[in-house]
Amino acid sequence: MSTTVPVRPPVPELRTAGSVLPAARPQTPFLRLDLDVAVARYRRLAAALPGTAVHYAVKANPDPGLLARLHAAGSRFDVASPAEVLAALAAGAAPGDLVYSNPVKRRTDIELAHLHGVRLFVVDTLEETDKVAAAAPGSAVLCRLVTPGEGSDWPLSRKYGCSTAQAVDVLTHALTLGLDAAGVSFHVGSQQRDPGAWAAPIAASARVFDQVRARGGRPHLLDLGGGFPARLVGGCPPPEEYGATIGRLLDQHFGARRPDTLVEPGRGVVAEAGVLTTEVIGVVRRGEVRWVFLDAGVFTGLVETLEEAIRYPLETDRDGGPTGPCVVAGPTCDSADVLYQDTMVDLPLDLAEGDRVRLLGAGAYTSCYSTVGFNGFPPLVTHVVP
Ligand SMILES: *Cc1c(COP(=O)(O)O)cnc(C)c1O
């Protein structure tokens, strides 16, 4: 180990602070973020999961006003970078309310989080456990299990997570390093429509807890991840169904030895608080197919339409009349900038240039995903309804 003081890279500011919604009809495209809706969704999810701590996943939408309102409502936070740590603390959170959840982190980022009092980190390898022990000595670690991501519209499983056997090794190793081998985390995939997706990872977690106990550990915390869905095209069960299923699974697999639990919802809290308003810049025919071009696209926050994974319900100024199928595309010259084509969208036949099209459920993974200016189109603006 080097004894020199590490040079910490400057922490970039999150440049996503929303302005208050102007009274006049604002220039499109913009995201209208209604903080009351986000708080109501937070409360409903928290009520559906009694006894479980709710850590809002900041990456879904890091708007500072949103974080402050969620903190005031009782939310804790899931963070994954120095800027997110500072944003959560600035919102009023105590460092003990944060879980640092990406399993592979820059060493200086762990040090910075530790310096600010963060004491709970997710790992999924022996190497990262060593790193946490060195950069955040005495902290607690959760070991992330791999999940298949089936049933979710935006799987998160290809990148992180280990097997139960590896998790037992990782947590046992954590004990030898003087860390609190706190337990297990997993993520069942974002926009998870099947509450049953929690069954296999909860069962696997219980096996890890047993085996870590057999090796002298005292695991006490289970991180059930995010994945709680928003009402998008195709629908989803209500939060209460997720809460009931998860509660039953915890009883079944942990019985009287139920650990403390936490969840890390992003989309389930903030998606329905956002409406992305766009304007039609052109309607053209290519052969028999009608193409509707909007002034927002894949590079202006709608990244999750890639492979048509996330399907936002659309509303237009001309709803009510006859409709027909359309390809929906964004404004840039990149051919990837097509939102929906394989499954076309029914839109009013008289939809024309200058009409507004609103994408519902767009409060998560949009404003923060916008490019800084691809093809000269500025980043997506947020107008907050406080
Ligand atoms: C992105 C992420 C979340 C939030 O996921 P949602 O599907 O938006 O609820 C939670 N935990 C981790 C580790 C994540 O990476």
pLDDT digits (tens, 9 = 90+) for 240-249: 999 999 999 9
pLDDT at 187: 96
DSSP 184: E
Ligand 1 neighbours, Cβ below 6 Å, are 57, 59-60, 78, 101, 156, 187, 190, 225-228, 264-268, 364
DSSP, residue by residue, 74-104:
T-EEEE-SHHHHHHHHHTT--GGGEEE--SS
**Angle in degrees, CA 109, 107, 262, rounded to 5:** 60
Q: Which residues pair with 221 in a beta bridge?
A: 183, 260
Q: Would the pLDDT of 25 be above 90? A: no
| Distance, CA of 35 to CA of 68 (rounded, Å) | 10
pLDDT at 152: 80
Distance, CA 227 to ligand 1 centroid (Å)? 6
Residues 80-106, mean pLDDT to the nearest whole number: 98
Residues 95-111, mean pLDDT to the nearest whole number: 98
Q: Which two tokens stand for residue 317?
A: 């100024």
- Specify the ligand 1 atom closest to the Cα of 60: 8
pLDDT at 11: 67
Distance, CA 186 to ligand 1 centroid (Å)? 10
Distance, CA 131 to ligand 1 centroid (Å)? 23
**Angle in degrees, CA 181, 86, 171, rounded to 5:** 10
Phi, psi dihedrals of residue 125, rounded to the nearest 5°: -145, 165
- 133: three-class secondary structure by DSSP: helix
Mean of pLDDT over the chain: 94
Query: Quick check: is 333 catalytic?
Result: yes
Closest by CA to 100, choosing from 149, 55, 60, is 55
Give yes or no for a contact between 382 and 19, defined as CB atoms under 8 angstroms apart.
yes
Q: Which two tokens stand for residue 198?
A: 């929690």
Domains (range + CATH), the chain:
35-271 (3.20.20.10), 272-385 (2.40.37.10)
Phi, psi dihedrals of residue 140, rounded to the nearest 5°: -100, 145
Residues 205-225, mean pLDDT to the nearest whole number: 98
Confidence of residue 19 (pLDDT cuts 50, 70, 90): confident
Q: Which of 143, 236, 326, 333 is catalytic?
A: 333
Higher pLDDT, 384 or 11: 384
Distance, CA 81 to ligand 1 centroid (Å)? 14
Instruction: Give percent above pLDDT 70 in the chain.
Output: 94
Give yes or no for a contact between 266 and 56, defined as CB atoms under 8 angstroms apart.
yes
Residues 6 or more apart in contact with residue 67 via CB below 8 angstroms:
56, 58, 77, 87, 88, 90, 91, 93
Phi, psi dihedrals of residue 311, rounded to the nearest 5°: -115, 105
Residues 6 or more apart in contact with residue 163 via CB below 8 angstroms:
145, 146
Torsion of CA 274, 14, 153, 125, to 10 degrees: -150
Q: Would the pLDDT of 155 be above 80? A: no
| Distance, CA of 332 to CA of 338 (rounded, Å) | 9
Q: Which two tokens stand for residue 218?
A: 């005292």
The neighbour count for residue 269, using CB atoms within 10 Å, is: 31
What's the one-letter identity of residue 125?
Answer: T
The pLDDT tens digits of the residues spanning 245-286 come to 999 999 999 999 999 999 999 999 999 999 999 999 999 999
- Specify the ligand 1 atom closest to the Cα of 364: 8
Q: Which residues pair with 18 in a beta bridge?
A: none
Distance, CA 229 to ligand 1 centroid (Å)? 11
Q: Would the pLDDT of 1 be above 50? A: no
Higher pLDDT, 331 or 4: 331
Confidence of residue 2 (pLDDT cuts 50, 70, 90): very low
- 182: three-class secondary structure by DSSP: strand
Q: Would the pLDDT of 169 be above 70? A: yes
Q: Would the pLDDT of 203 be above 80? A: yes
Confidence of residue 347 (pLDDT cuts 50, 70, 90): very high
Q: Which of 55, 70, 101 to mutate to test the pocket of ligand 1 (most atoms within 8 A of CB)?
A: 101
The pLDDT tens digits of the residues spanning 286-343 come to 999 999 999 999 999 999 999 999 999 999 999 999 999 999 999 999 999 999 999 9
Residues 159-170, mean pLDDT to the nearest whole number: 95
The pLDDT tens digits of the residues spanning 349-382 come to 999 999 999 999 999 999 999 999 999 999 999 9
**Single pTM value for the model:** 0.94
Q: Strands 356-360 and 19-20, how do they pair? A: unpaired
The residue nearest atom 8 of ligand 1, judged by CA position, is: 266
Q: Would the pLDDT of 4 be above 70? A: no
DSSP 346: E
